Homo-oligomer: A and B are copies of this chain.
Amino acid sequence: MCELLGMSANVPTDICFSFTGLIRRGGATGPHRDGWGVAFYEGRGCRTFHEPRACAESDLAQVLRGYSIKSQIVVCHIRKATHGQVCLENTHPFGRELWGRPWTFAHNGKLKGIKRRPLTHYRPIGGTDSEHAFCWMLDQLRARHAKPPGSLVAVRRQIAELAADLAQLGTFNMLLSDGRLLYAFCTTRLTWLTRQAPFGPATLVDDDVSVDFAAETTPDDIVTVIATQPLTRDETWTTMPPGALLAFRDGVLIP
């Protein structure tokens, strides 16, 4: 199994605090030693960092922890390999362009038989069931909309249908984004919280680190964090119900 971390915010926000907690689970407080990756959206662009080794021991992860890349959408993943070798091409998050946007996908779980689903436009580069599932989802979206769709309402409904379909093959906890919305789908384990005024302090579960968000934010900031397990011990996290697709824009859950 793996752990996921996502962020959606209404202003460019760094994820240093949450990332500090997550990377401890990548080989220190948790068993996810087989790679880590993170995608930061900035404007229409997206930049990603990947390493096929434990992030708790990674110099690059330590650099990123202090590097303060500010982003409105972040997708992170730490990996414990269950399917596919430990190598760069099997390291989440995966990325592909669809409709002139950089899409990003990270998955926790196993999907039995996914590789029997045929693909048309997108092919996996590595050998994971996760990347095959991502290619299949984008293939299906592209089949429905050859050109960029005008409205995201239909796209969100279609992503919910595709995710529910994939969930029949096994465990499908996932984060997906096109840089505008952050989608989260849960079959077993995902939890989330929204930080907004009045901000207070928070303390990591996995490290002896606290932050006072009141000192770090402005009253208008809205930041939602989604994670496999709660990252802080003194905030209220909401467990996602199985089978639900949530979509966030600018830190806010879309009704």
Contact = CB atoms under 8 A, between A and B. Distances in A.
A125 B88 contact: no
Contacts of A148: 123
B123 A89 contact: no
A71 B235 CA distance: 43
Interface in A107-123: 121-123
A126 B49 contact: no
B44 A89 contact: yes
Interface residues of A, number: 33
A152 interface: no
A13 interface: no
B100 A125 contact: yes
Interface string A71-102: 00000000000000001111100001101111
A120 to B, nearest CB: 9
Contact of A102 (B60, B91, B125): B125
Contacts of A96: 97
A189 interface: no
A43 interface: yes
A31 interface: no
B123 A121 contact: no
Nearest to A60: B67
A219 to B, nearest CB: 28
A47 interface: yes
Contacts of A45: 50, 52, 87-91, 125-126
* In the A-B complex, the 8 residue pairs with the closest CB atoms: A45-B88, A45-B89, A100-B123, A44-B89, A42-B88, A47-B50, A63-B63, A43-B87
Interface of A: 42-52, 59-60, 63, 67, 87-91, 96-97, 99-102, 121-126, 148
